[in-house]
Structures are given as structure tokens and as C-alpha cells.
A and B are shown apart, each in its own frame.
Chain A
Amino acid sequence: MKKLILTAAALALSAGTAFAGDVVRMGTEGAYPPYNFINDKGEVDGFERELGDTLCTKAALKCEWVTNEWDSIIPNLLSGNYDTIIAGMSITDERKQTIDFTQNYIPPAASAYAAKSADANLKGVVAAQVGTIQADYVAKSGATLLEFPTLDDTIAAVKNGEADAVFADKDAIKPFVTEGGELVWSGADVPLGGGVGIGLRKSDTELKAKFDAVITAMKADGSLNAMIKKWFGDDSQVF
């Protein structure tokens, strides 16, 4: 109770002074490199950190970064714990029913299967991260879907033989294939989704307009493409 009073008192004090600028709380997962991850200093880092900070500077907003489990990232946006989702979230019609998206800041990208061998059974047991467009795709592909809360769990499932393959965003699992040594690409790439955008509450139309304007400008002057190439490599899809 004392704590509540202390907190309330501190809030009341800060309330008088802190209305100088809008603070936009940026929600991300922090476990999906190179889109977003927690670096060794313990801060949010990655493509989306750089992009988000640039967007905020250009739109003259003050931004603060918050991490949240992927699982509950949409409900917590809706209940107002943060104001945006900038977490490699693909724009889909299903998600559009509950939240709004800015225009995409990454073009529709390929998803891919990775497995222990190139001729793995892609109609067998396939692991995917829960609530992703890849999980949807696997469920519809006729394979047995095995869902995990994080990307790492899906990779571990393939390594220990629980799943035949993992299906995920190609950029996100690339390091596991190129650096790990144990996994290889399997089957053809699958283009999925409508690109990645910033998720917002439907009522936040003003914020959406601000971000959209800056993203349009960054697409036009090529700075967005440069940023994509910096984080995802020179052969990645650009606008």
C-alpha cells in the first residue's frame, strides 16, 4: 500500500512537468535477430531499432523501447501498454481485423524451410513460431505443425529430432544455417505475407499518418533501402 502511495505521489509530481513532448512507446519482441534483439549491453538493437529511432527523429517524436513476449504482443498493444508493434510483424488480413498497420517498411520477404538434410520430409512434422504467418502456412500445407513460443525453440526442435524441419522467415533463420553447420536449406523458398509494417491501435490514426509520411519519404530517398541492405545483406529484397 505504501508503495502504491509512493508511486502515485511520484506520478503526480512527474505529471505536472512531463507533458513537454509526446512519448511513443515502441513495443518489440527482442528475440528475432536481425529484425530486433537484445544486444550484449542489454539494449534493444537491430534493424527495427535503427529504423524506429530514425522514424521517431524524423517525425519529431520521443520514443522509448519496450520488450514484450511475442505471444501477447497484440493484446498488450490493445490494452495500451505501448503504442506500436515494431517486431518484424507481417501485414496480414487476419491481423488487420484487430490492429492497424502502417505501409510496409520491408517488402514481402521469403520464408524458407531449414532441416538437417536437404531432402527432409516437408510434409512431416514442421516446427514454427506460434502466431506467425509461417505457422499458418504450415498448418495449411498438410504437414503436422509443431508450435513453439520462440524461434530458438523451433531450431532446437529440429536439432534434437523432434521436428523434421523448421519453417520461418528466411532472414531470421539464415544465421542458423550459415553459421551453425548442422542445418541446411530444404525445399524452395516461399513468398509470404504483405511485407512487414508497424502495428498500431486502430484509434491511433494520427500516429499512423506520421509514420506513414516518414516511411514514404525514406522509400523515396533510398535511405530505407540502404538500411535494409546494411542489416539483411546486399542480396535482400528492396523497394
Chain B
Amino acid sequence: MFDSCADPKSLEGLAWALCYLTTGKHLLFYGSFFVVLALMLIVAPIALAFGFGGAIAARSPILPLRLFGKAYTAMVRGIPDIVFFLFVPVAMDQGLEYLRYLYKCPHDGTPVWANNEFAVCAAAKLPLSTAPQIWHEVYGFFLAVIAFSVVFGAFAANVLYGAMNAVPRAQLETAEAYGMTTAQVRRRILIPQMWTYALPGLSNLWMILIKATPLLFLLGVEDIVYWARELGATKSQLYDFPHGDWRVWYVLALLCYYLGMTKVSEIVLDRVTNRLSKGQATMAGEAQRKAAA
């Protein structure tokens, strides 16, 4: 990065450290922090939407919809995360490529799945093997977002389902007595009140999501844990910056990052809890009302 770094083996002390910490590899490491942040910020709203859909479906008076909502939460909650993270992206990748195979490939009788291989013609590959590497990475990231959203969406669905049931029945009955339709009751009374019950569960999920991001590496996305391991590994004289096994220092840096993330999240979530308790018929809401009076 700097001109003075041209001959790293002649450097010492601070100059060495400066050059070492600005190698192309370290810049990729720093960049991967943004990948992880982006993943969390993209997954959170999508998972919440999945959860909302799941919870509404699970409460639906229509039987197939109710069964779908319940099956979704039960299935994801019952299957180990790691199986899901390995299965969803592979299944989606092969599924999408198979769909493209149906209309892009010549059908000359070559089987798609044969002796362990999954082979579609070059035109059906996703992304095409001619696509620049960045598209392969974007695609991998996209599969990761879907996998995370499906898993965390199911947990969110269960939290929201519980929160919806926690809203006092009397509130809903009063609304019905005023002549509101079911949809109106749901939109005006149920949903605004459920958040205060849902928040503790959702904040738990958010914390778990923060700490689950290293699973990205399972999906082939080079995340912070991958780079920490790679950069910390022993470097022989073959490298520009030889050093011993420094993995512990890199892992400590990650520890600080994760602790920082959880601390910031806690502060924000506390504020949101406060805001949502305002005027609610809950203990927190009651305490706020008394303090103000």
C-alpha cells in the first residue's frame, strides 16, 4: 500500500507493523467486517418479515395456511442449524441451476444427477463460469442471506406468535365490540400491542444472529473468522511477512468486535424497549406512567 513497504524483510518495529497491517490480505480482512455487518442488516428485516408471515399464517383461520405456518416453525426449530445451513444453499443452488437447465440446455439424454456429480451444461450454471469472481461471491452471499433468513425467520415466527397470544384478550374484545373487523383488530390493536411482548425474544434472536455469522464460512463466504484464521496461521519465509502462530491475537480482536457489537445492540434495544413500553398495560408501561405522574 505504501512505497516504503516494497521490501518488507528489511523493515523493523513500527514500520514493519504498519506495512504488515496494510497488506492486501489485511485489507480483505477489514473488508470482511462489512460483509458480516451487511449480512446482519440484510437478514434482520427479511427474517422479521418471514417471521411475521409465519406467525400470521400460524394464527390463520384457514387450515392449510395454519398448517403451513406451524410446519415451518416446527421444522426449522427441530432441525439442527448446521444441517440447514449446509442443506438450504446446496438445494437452492442445484434447484435454480436445474430450472435453468430445463430451458437453456440441449436435452440429449445426459443425466443431471449421475454418480455423485451434478452436471448441467455451461449455459445453465449460476453464476456462469465466465462471470467475474465478484458475481460468484455475490451469489454465495445471496444464498447465505436466504439460509439465515429461513432459519431466523422461523424462530422469529414463534416469538411473534407467542407475542400475539400475549396481547390481553380483553383489548381485542373491546375492539370487536366497537364493530371493527378481524383485519382492523389485527392492524389497529393486536400488532401495535404485541411488539412489547415480542421484543425480549427478538432481541435474543438478534444477539444469536450476531454470533452466528461465522457460519458464513460454511457457505463459502470468506468472513472475518476465515481471515483471522488465515492471517494468524504460521507464516514461513515464503511470505513477505513471516511470523509464528498469531491466531490467538486475531481471535482476541474478533472477541473485542463481537463484544462491541453486543454492547451497542444492548443499548439500542434498551431504548427501543423503553419506547415501546410507553402507554402499554404492562409492568414497564405502568412504571413509566407512575414515574411521569
For residue B131, which residues in chain A have a CB less than 8 angstroms away from its CB?
A: 11, 14, 18
A40 to B238, CA, bound (A): 10
Q: Is B133's CB under 8 angstroms from A41's CB?
A: no
Q: Is A18's CB under 8 angstroms from B128's CB?
A: yes
For chain B, the bracket of interface size reads: 35 or more
For chain A, the bracket of interface size reads: 35 or more
Q: Is B128's CB under 8 angstroms from A15's CB?
A: yes
Convert A9-41 into 0s and 1s, putting 1 for each residue whose CB lies closer than 8 angstroms to a CB of B: 011001100111111110000110110011111
Q: A11-B126, A43-B24, A179-B242 known; A79 and B233 CB under 8 Å?
A: no
For residue A223, which residues in chain B have a CB less than 8 angstroms away from its CB?
A: none
A66 CB–B CB distance under 8 Å: yes
Q: Is A79's CB under 8 angstroms from B94's CB?
A: yes
Q: Is B238's CB under 8 angstroms from A33's CB?
A: yes
B266 CB–A CB distance under 8 Å: no
Distance in Å from the Cβ of B121 to the closest Cβ of chain A? 11
Q: Is B129's CB under 8 angstroms from A23's CB?
A: yes
A41 to B26, CA, bound (A): 8
Q: Is A4's CB under 8 angstroms from B239's CB?
A: no
A236 CB–B CB distance under 8 Å: no
Total A-B contacts with CB atoms under 8 angstroms apart: 115
Residue of B nearest to A155 (CB): B234
A124 CB–B CB distance under 8 Å: no
> Which positions 167-207 of chain A face chain B at CB distance < 8 Å?
175-176, 179-180, 201-203
Convert B63-106 into 0s and 1s, putting 1 for each residue whose CB lies closer than 8 angstroms to a CB of A: 00000000000000000000000000010011001000000000
Q: A39-B240, A175-B237 known; A152 and B245 CB under 8 Å?
A: yes
Q: Is A80's CB under 8 angstroms from B233's CB?
A: no
Distance in Å from the Cβ of B187 to the closest Cβ of chain A? 24
Convert B148-178 into 0s and 1s, putting 1 for each residue whose CB lies closer than 8 angstroms to a CB of A: 0000000000000000000000000000000
Q: Is A14's CB under 8 angstroms from B130's CB?
A: yes
For residue A155, which residues in chain B have a CB less than 8 angstroms away from its CB?
A: 234, 245
For residue A64, which residues in chain B have a CB less than 8 angstroms away from its CB?
A: 129, 133
A150 CB–B CB distance under 8 Å: yes
B289 CB–A CB distance under 8 Å: no
Q: Is A68's CB under 8 angstroms from B220's CB?
A: yes
A201 to B24, CA, bound (A): 33
B58 CB–A CB distance under 8 Å: no
For residue B93, which residues in chain A have a CB less than 8 angstroms away from its CB?
A: 79
For residue A67, which residues in chain B have a CB less than 8 angstroms away from its CB?
A: 222
> Which positions 26-42 of chain B face chain A at CB distance < 8 Å?
27-28
Q: Is A40's CB under 8 angstroms from B119's CB?
A: no
For residue B229, which residues in chain A have a CB less than 8 angstroms away from its CB?
A: 150
Q: A4-B142, A40-B24 known; A11 and B129 CB under 8 Å?
A: no
A237 CB–B CB distance under 8 Å: no
Distance in Å from the Cβ of A199 to the closest Cβ of chain B? 13
Q: Is B234's CB under 8 angstroms from A11's CB?
A: no
14 further A-B contacts with Cβ under 8 Å, apart from A14-B128, A201-B119, are: A3-B145, A18-B131, A24-B129, A31-B230, A38-B230, A41-B24, A41-B25, A42-B23, A66-B136, A67-B222, A76-B220, A79-B118, A98-B116, A152-B245
- A-B residue pairs in contact (CB < 8 Å), sample of 29: A3-B138, A7-B142, A11-B127, A11-B131, A11-B135, A21-B130, A30-B230, A37-B238, A40-B239, A42-B23, A42-B25, A42-B28, A67-B222, A68-B220, A78-B116, A78-B117, A78-B118, A79-B90, A79-B94, A79-B118, A80-B97, A80-B125, A152-B233, A152-B247, A155-B245, A179-B242, A180-B234, A180-B244, A201-B117
Nearest 6 A/B pairs, CB to CB: A175-B236, A41-B24, A18-B130, A42-B24, A42-B25, A40-B23
